Amino acid sequence: MKKHILTLLVLSGAAQAADYRIYPTFSEVLEQVTPQNGQYTFTIDQNDLCQVFPSSIGLKNAEVESYLVTTRTVPWLSQLQGKRVAVKDSYGVHPAIVVRIEGQVLLVQDEVTKRYYTTTAASLEFFEAPSTFQDQTEVAYQFQLGQTDQPELHYLTGAVTWKPLYALEVEGDSATLRAWAEVSNQTAKTLKVDHADLFGGDVNRPAQKFPSCGGYAPQAYYNKAYDGLADMAAAPIVAQEAVSVPQATAGGIYKYEVSKVFEVPSRATYALPLQDADVPEVKRVLTHIQNFSYGNQKGLLDRVYRFEAPEFLLGGQFTVRDEDFFIGESVIAHAAKGKELSVQVGSAPEVTYDRTIQMLSQERVEVNNLDRIREVYLVTVVLKSFKDAPVNVEYQESMNALGRTWVVLEDQGKVVRENNFGYQGILQPEEEKTLQFKLQTERPY
């Protein structure tokens, strides 16, 4: 069994390796630490503070007797300690070395006269640009430890994440599903990844934050599929075996093993190809699905590609190409292996629907000693094809919001699923098909 999931090294300077388990909206960091005199202090600077989830911070393989959390403000001037600056006054500009900083006052030593004097930030010029001009907040966790056995720090951070990009390449009635895993590094450091496991599924991330940070978005935001923009052509070309197929874990999420070594610069994204999957059957369907409405409506049918997920698919951006042409792009939700997916890629201007509704009757009735209003409606739908080839069409209305509902068939091709009604079939070239559905509803008087 692997002990480490993702090894991450900071390239600038000597740094201890850390292990990352990368999820779509956060990563778990595991890092071996070396206590000093029974204590270990974990310090989080301003760059990482609002990415770290406080409730996730802890130590493994160690007897933690207590811990103290302190917050302090680090003045931006502190970065000038020991640095060479230029001090302006009425006599000119004088190079000097910053010796000590107290509040907003700096004690400097003149390079020429070797004399000491005080100045303020308003009088300074810089030979190197400071990294920031704002005071920084720093949080420190000081752990008091008993017995330890290779203690390991662990916490969750939103600075390293991943998301999938899918492309369905259709040829005839089958397809190949290609996908990329984009690993994003929003830290201030370049990361070197020796080995990684990517995780997918519906995972509730913590909601707690440090007081100086803004709030995190609600959990529903992190559960939804990614709906941003992406450039598939910009992804690097790497070996196809770099990422394994997803494997289910005992906890109900999925794991992708990454065998390729790669680097992710600061504020950058690196893409790895997931393994291709065969899709043996793809259906091209023109559909219109809506909730029942009391008003007349007309419009175009949607172009939909329907297929079964060949493996677990993490929700994400989805592109469809048919006979090597770009057909459209959509977003899919999480899908288990074998689940039927319908990917809507645009409208079909050659196939229209025209829906009208007529109330046939309305009466007051008694049902189970309760007064009800019973209404009967006639829904007429005209499907019209202007194409020169047959097309598969589906029309469906959901009645779930109407309470007790009965649907009476007055044409062939009715589809009843739960409380829905509609039609599915083939429209011949330039065919116009009229559907009629009579439905009866009851509502409180």
Condensed to tens digits (0 to 9), the pLDDT of residues 94-145 reads 999 999 998 889 999 999 999 999 999 999 999 988 888 888 888 999 999 9
- 79/287: higher pLDDT: 287
Q: Where are the domains of the chain?
A: 7-65+153-160+186-269, 76-134, 283-307+338-444
In contact, 292 and 399? CB cutoff 8 Å: yes
- The pairing of beta strand 136-157 with beta strand 52-74: antiparallel
pLDDT band at 301 (very low <50, low <70, confident <90, very high): very high
- CB neighbourhood size of 267 (10 A): 11
Angle made by CA atoms 369, 372, 375, in degrees to the nearest 5: 145
Partnered with residue 120 across adjacent β-strands are 105
The matching CATH number, chosen from 2.60.40, 1.10.10, 2.40.30, 3.30.420, for 283-307+338-444 is 2.60.40
Say whether pLDDT at 266 is over 70. yes
- CB neighbourhood size of 389 (10 A): 9
Single out the residue of 203, 295, 208, 290 nearest to residue 254, CA to CA: 203
Taking the C-alpha atoms of residue 151 and residue 61, their distance in angstroms, rounded to an integer, is 5
pLDDT at 250 (0 to 100): 81
Q: How far is CA 409 from CA 267, 393, 394, 406, 414, in A?
A: 59, 18, 16, 10, 7
- 1/89: higher pLDDT: 89
- To the nearest whole number, what is the mean pLDDT of the chain? 83
Would you state the structure tokens that stand for residue 380, as one six-digit string?
């007429």
Amino acid at the residue 103: G
Convert the pLDDT of each residue in 46-91 to its tens digit.
888 888 999 999 999 999 999 999 988 888 888 899 999 999 988 8
Which of 17-26, 94-103, 225-234, 359-368 shows the highest mean pLDDT? 94-103
pLDDT at 401 (0 to 100): 57
Say whether pLDDT at 416 is over 80. no
Say whether pLDDT at 335 is over 90. yes
- CB neighbourhood size of 347 (10 A): 16
The reported pTM is: 0.73
Say whether pLDDT at 2 is over 90. no
pLDDT at 224 (0 to 100): 39
Say whether pLDDT at 187 is over 50. yes
Would you state the structure tokens that stand for residue 134, as one six-digit string?
């704002």
Question: Class of 76-134 per CATH?
Answer: mainly beta
Which region among 148-162, 294-308, 341-355, 400-414 has the lowest average model confidence (pLDDT)?
400-414
% of residues, the chain, pLDDT over 70? 84
- The pairing of beta strand 105-110 with beta strand 92-102: antiparallel
Say whether pLDDT at 43 is over 50. yes
Taking the C-alpha atoms of residue 27 and residue 158, their distance in angstroms, rounded to an integer, is 6
- CB neighbourhood size of 226 (10 A): 17
Would you state the structure tokens that stand for residue 287, as one six-digit string?
């559909």
pLDDT at 356 (0 to 100): 96
Would you state the structure tokens that stand for residue 114, as one six-digit string?
């070797």
In contact, 315 and 338? CB cutoff 8 Å: no
Q: How far is CA 68 from its chain centroid?
A: 34
Mean pLDDT of all residues in 410-417? 59
Q: Tell me, what DSSP letter sits at residue 207? A: -
Which region among 284-288, 321-325, 338-342, 435-439 has the lowest average model confidence (pLDDT)?
435-439
Q: How far is CA 44 from its chain centroid?
A: 25
Taking the C-alpha atoms of residue 391 and residue 388, their distance in angstroms, rounded to an integer, is 9
Convert the pLDDT of each residue in 208-246 to its tens digit.
888 877 654 444 433 433 333 333 333 333 334 567 778
Say whether pLDDT at 417 is over 60. no
Taking the C-alpha atoms of residue 194 and residue 108, their distance in angstroms, rounded to an integer, is 46
